Amino acid sequence: LDYQHVQVPFEITLWIMLASLAKIGFHLYNKLPSVVPESCLLIFVGLIMGGIIYGLNDKSPPVMDSDIFFLYLLPPIVLDAGYFMPSRPFFENIGTILLYAVVGTIWNVFGIGFSLYGICQVKSFHLQDVSLLHNLLFGSLIAAVDPVAVLAVFEEIHVNEKLHILVFGESLLNDAVTVVLYKLFRSFCEMPAIKTVDVFAGIGKFFVVGIGGVLVGLTFGMIAAFTTRFTKNIRVIEPLFVFLYSYLSYLAAEMFHLSGIVAIIACAMGMKRYVEANISLKSHTTVKYFMKMWSSVSDTLIFIFLGVSTIGENHEWNWPYICFTVIFCLIWRALGVLVLTFFVNRFHVNTVTSKDQFIIAYGGLRGAICFSLVFLLPDFDRKKLFIAATTVVILFTVFVQGMTIRPLVDLLDVTKKRESAPTVGEQIHIRFLDHLLAGIEDISGHWGQYYWKDKLEYFNSKYLQKILLREYDQPKSSIVLLYEKLERKHAIELAEAGQLGHAPSHPSLLNSHRTVVTDRKSEDILNPDVLENIQEILARNLYRIRRTVPAYSRHTLPGETEPAEQAEEILILRHRSL
């Protein structure tokens, strides 16, 4: 027996296997996941596993390594989140999201840090040795809402799209703030004296870390899109580039102390559009499938490891500190959301309702990022206290808040996500309004979101598409192609059905060809770009009207119908209407 030799890959494979089997187990009984969130069940499995390991070895089970978490487990989840991010609601609410992510997180960090420092001054709690800086450091790691936990819970409760993107977007973008504050306070802890310069340098870092992350991500995204231009002869390695470049963007950002999460999201959102157009349909299925699979497994592993790591002797149970941490986390988040939303609502017509505010505040779940950060702390006296407090906060938010949020959403009657896709009319109107508003903004000299969107679209079609897309010249008016195909098919069918004779030169066939030609002519009269867009919308909606698929789910791909099936359906609809 030579276990040493194969130990590393063998144990990794076994852990992944355990995670996958646990997932299968939960989904065997359909009732269980509808009551208890999967994340809770997985933590529970982890607790049991940890207990077994602890019982057998009589020493603390291995703790989730922070490097493994940040380098291998987190990227797939963030990549999946970025790749399947609904871009319209995200960019529409980008201001609000940034406000929550930046100002809200800073508010929470200082709020929690200072009030915990207040608690430490109470003599009977025996906490007087915890300095203000240590409290702020703890605040910086415990304040950040965790994207993994938020995704796991929110994808199951189906709240409306805006509410979802507000919480989820915040949890992703606050990474830049967390990275900066955490590293700042940690370096302050090790410095003998803090100068004012250091504080200002810290503030400057926010922008470097955040904007740098975006730039790194976009650069890699563009290179990825450019690379997939040349993969026509070797389709099987196409999916690889999507993963390689986004992972490289994450690693490069981490290497330069920028925000890796922000980088990978920028990379995924940037390349998606071009990569999808360049790679084959099968490659794209593989990309989507593997992304879902990978993030699903990572997510499972993280929660199991969270459970395993909870067991053991790493904790110092100072209950006042721990209880007040939980309370302050709740209070400061609630206050922060209230205050910030007050300002947001003053500048927006489409306000955030008080029910939504409650869910935003209540949905501030903490997770594995806090946990990994607390283990990365340099060793000092009270590290075990911080670990204990972090563990309790995570378990409290995931179990108590995670399990009660669904009944609360039902009870408060929070606006749910509409299950049907927008109709053609709506989409066309939205598009026309976008153009209209862009025009108004241009005339009034106001550089708002519509103006920038329009400029970006122009830049994209004028330069980017030419560089990044392989088949740019070919007109992509899919509805015309579809129509031609249908007409041809229909003509063949009619001819062969014996109704109109057997020769292919029959008038009906010629007729159908003429229809296509007229169709093409009408296209030439209108501006082809606009027409193409409308045609795309039509092509998508003609069939989609009757589909009701939720927009995002971790475990399933957005339902795709075979194009042929779609074509058949359209054919039948058309026949009926005639």
Binding site for a copy of itself (CB under 8 A): 1-3, 5-6, 8-10, 13-14, 16-17, 20-21, 23-24, 27-28, 30, 67, 71-72, 227, 230-231, 233-237, 239-241, 244, 247-248, 251-252, 254-257, 282-283, 285-286, 289-290, 292-293, 296-297, 489, 492-494, 496-499, 555-557, 562, 564-565, 568, 572, 575-576
| Cβ contact 121:375 at 8 Å | no
Per residue, the 3-state secondary structure of 486-509, as one string, reads HHHHHHHHHHHCCCCCCCCCCHHH
Closest contact distance (angstroms) between CB of 202 and a copy of itself is 18
Residues 330, 344: Cα–Cα separation, whole Å: 21
In the complex with a copy of itself, which residue's Cβ is closer, 148 or 344?
A: 148
| Cβ contact 332:111 at 8 Å | yes
Closest contact distance (angstroms) between CB of 294 and a copy of itself is 9
Closest contact distance (angstroms) between CB of 240 and a copy of itself is 6
One-letter amino acid for residue 454 of the chain? D
In the complex with a copy of itself, which residue's Cβ is closer, 40 or 116?
A: 40
In the complex with a copy of itself, which residue's Cβ is closer, 20 or 345?
A: 20
DSSP 97-137: HHIIIIIIHHHHHHHHHHHHHHHHT-GGGT-TTS-HHHHHH
In the complex with a copy of itself, which residue's Cβ is closer, 132 or 201?
A: 201
Closest contact distance (angstroms) between CB of 212 and a copy of itself is 13
In the complex with a copy of itself, which residue's Cβ is closer, 8 or 193?
A: 8
In the complex with a copy of itself, which residue's Cβ is closer, 186 or 382?
A: 186
In the complex with a copy of itself, which residue's Cβ is closer, 35 or 237?
A: 237
| Cβ contact 182:373 at 8 Å | yes
Closest contact distance (angstroms) between CB of 83 and a copy of itself is 14
Question: Residue 287, CB half-sphere, CA atoms under 13 Å: how many?
Answer: 28
| Cβ contact 370:141 at 8 Å | yes
Coil, strand, or helix at residue 338?
Answer: helix
Query: What backbone torsions phi and psi does residue 191 show, to the nearest 5 degrees?
Result: -85, 145
DSSP 313-327: S-----HHHHHHHHH
Closest contact distance (angstroms) between CB of 198 and a copy of itself is 19
| Cβ contact 235:282 at 8 Å | yes
Query: Using only C-alpha atoms, what is the Rg of the chain?
Result: 27
Burial-class residue 507 by CB neighbours within 10 Å (0-12, 13-18, 19+): exposed
In the complex with a copy of itself, which residue's Cβ is closer, 5 or 521?
A: 5
Instruction: State the CB neighbour count (10 A cutoff) for residue 467.
Output: 12
Closest contact distance (angstroms) between CB of 363 and a copy of itself is 25
| Token couple for 311 | 């067991």
Residues 271, 225: Cα–Cα separation, whole Å: 6
Closest contact distance (angstroms) between CB of 494 and a copy of itself is 6
In the complex with a copy of itself, which residue's Cβ is closer, 64 or 167?
A: 64
In the complex with a copy of itself, which residue's Cβ is closer, 326 or 494?
A: 494
